[in-house]
Structure 1
Amino acid sequence: MLINKNNIQLTHSSDYEELSLKDESEVIFSFIIEASSPQKAKQALLAFDFDSFNIDEKKTGVYRADNPKISYFRYLETEKYLNIFDIRITPPRGCKKFKYKIIPWGNELVKEIRQLKITQLSSNDRPKRKVILKVDDLRFDESFSKFSRVIEICNEFKIPASIGVIGNTLENASKYQIEFIKNQLGENNIEIWHHSWSHKDLTLIPRYEIENEVTKTLDAFKKIFDQNLTIFGAPFNKVNDNVIEVAKSHNLDIIFETDFPRNITPELNKNGDGQPNLLAFIERFERTKDQEISQVQIHPGRWDDRGYNEFRSCIAYMIGAEINFTTVNNINQTE
């Protein structure tokens, strides 16, 4: 990504400050920007001078700038009058010090920048990124084996999975399917969440139909597994006030769409393919490296053998990145 130097007003920008690194550190810049207007995004830049280092933009978390006065930058996306930022930067390997400054995006937009705090995290005390593996569209029909295959891969890698059940096939579940899920629940390998009754867009139907979509799945799951569902994820990741209110009224207290960042998927949806793709996933995953908790969303019902092989590679990549795989319930119990 390049910035056109003619679009940057370097007004009210102070000289660079120098930061010395204590070791191979991740650096967190924490500050507040008070804006004159909440209407325009990209109200400021956090600019860096890494001297002569050859920067890997994906690993570092910065972009090269086409501007003679700065070398690299991070956009500060803003939507409110008071905008709180915690920007994580991973300096290039071997870097002992670098320079930084905050550049307002025009006088009329930035009223004040304050409370700059800089935290260095060494590799030993850096918190691990948490990932919820969000598995969508479990049905108790001929597609069940695709999901059991995913669960077996997760068990092989010793990571948990969070699986969304579509309720209208629960009554057709075979004895084998029921016992398989019960065993996985009993060993805490998986958690099950509510993914509606018929997987229709709940934002397009009246409230009484939303009630049916919610209550019928709750009742059917309770009858078979003797457990109450407490987590909800909407079809197509789409909610509105009615959907949220109905879900909350039935003790579905955690909603993926409102309680967690937007999902990341390893699936490459060109031409309706929908198969996981390692290279596409790495790009998306690295682009969201600032997230403390990420949900990685998959749809095994559409995969073929190639998809499972790519899925294995995606899991191995995250394990190599020292990701902490977790579930919604685990996060909820620790907060």
Structure 2
Amino acid sequence: MDHTGSTSGTATGTDSRALTAAGVTVALWASAFVSIRVSAEHFSPGALALGRLLTASLALGCVLLVKQVPLPPRKAWPGILVSGVLWFGLYMVALNWGEQQVDAGTAAMVVNIGPIVIALLSGWLLKEGFPPALLAGMAVSFAGAAVVGLSTSQGGPASLTGVLLCLFAALAYGAGVVAQKPALRHASPLQVTTYGCFVGTAVTLPFAGQLVTELPEAPLPATLNMLYLGLFPTALAFTTWTYALSRTTAGKMGATTYAVPAAVVLIAWATLGEVPGRLTLLGGAICLAGVALSRRRGRGGGRLRTVRKLRQDV
């Protein structure tokens, strides 16, 4: 199964279905922050990551069986393995652990380095280049994320361990996304997501003892939120992510995730009654403005890529 044709023709922009898929991903990833708050009080970082990934793996595995999806081609496996280890496995554990060591604002600011890592690695390794609009938009969005982080920070001393864990999570996230992109040339989004999730589950199996110990003692809302994390922000949102990623550049998809802080503010307002301050709302608006800027096409950029593609075809 080779999807090269489907991805090469969409490098200049994103179709409406891909934009819808990206929107679903942003909304579900934003909702994950609320669920993690409820679950993290009763589950250790590794146990929460394993419980989330086990739930997602079971759901995605059932979809594979029903749809009778074959194994991914051999050429897709390097990207699946790297993204599975780094993003599905190590990222989730490091992020859960880091957020217990620092306040939410500090964690948000550090983790939001991830999209910048994606832009730099994809521009270098995937030869996507460094479009000025993308770089400018990411700079604006990062500034907005920093404003949101500062406005929600508790102002206490940040743990060096927590900051380093969040930084590691950002690097693992960025490298994992860049590894996914080549895999999508040979395998479907469902294959890349499902087998990446299987790999991540295997990476977090050492925490099985903690999960077995903590699960009976956790209150029902915490367990239900862990199941929600697995079914929706992981199984569904990671699939819609890879679907959108297969139809645009990794750099643009990374920039899109800067809409997550703004969505988190709105979801926390609606579900937890946390009324955001003016500075928080301003930061969210700046994030969205940067995302919009990053997705603008440079003048003549599309025509230049088209000419290059025609020359390659000839």
Question: Normalising by structure 2, what TM-score?
Answer: 0.23
Greater relative CO (CA pairs within 8 A, separation 6+): 2
Higher strand content, 1 or 2? 1
Higher helix content, 1 or 2? 2
Question: Normalising by structure 1, what TM-score?
Answer: 0.22
Larger radius of gyration: 1
